[in-house]
Amino acid sequence: MVYINYNNLDDETQQRLVSVSKKDVEQKFGNDLKRYAEENHIEYDTLLEEEALRNLYSYDYVFNI
């Protein structure tokens, strides 16, 4: 679960969430993503960014108002 203050949804908070998601994706699927990127001639960082954004939808969010 990700706890977010409803009054603080600025760009910095969004970037922090993406950063956390990137670390999560890299930890879970890093080797598979690197192999996929090499096989399909895709830049790894771009692929990681896309997967991190998709991963954000799998989180449960709790908003503090």
The structure's pTM equals: 0.79
Cβ atoms within 10 Å of 48's Cβ, excluding its own: 19
Secondary element (H or E) of residue 57: none
Average pLDDT of the chain to the nearest whole number: 89
pLDDT at res. 36: 95
Residue 39 has pLDDT above 90, yes or no: yes
**Residue 21: Cβ-neighbour burial (10 angstroms; 0-12, 13-18, 19+):** buried
Express each pLDDT in 3-25 by its tens digit: 777 677 788 888 999 999 999 99
Q: Of 27, 19, 12, which Cα lies nearest the Cα of 56?
A: 19
Regarding predicted confidence, which is higher, 4 or 52?
52
Residue 63 has pLDDT above 70, yes or no: yes
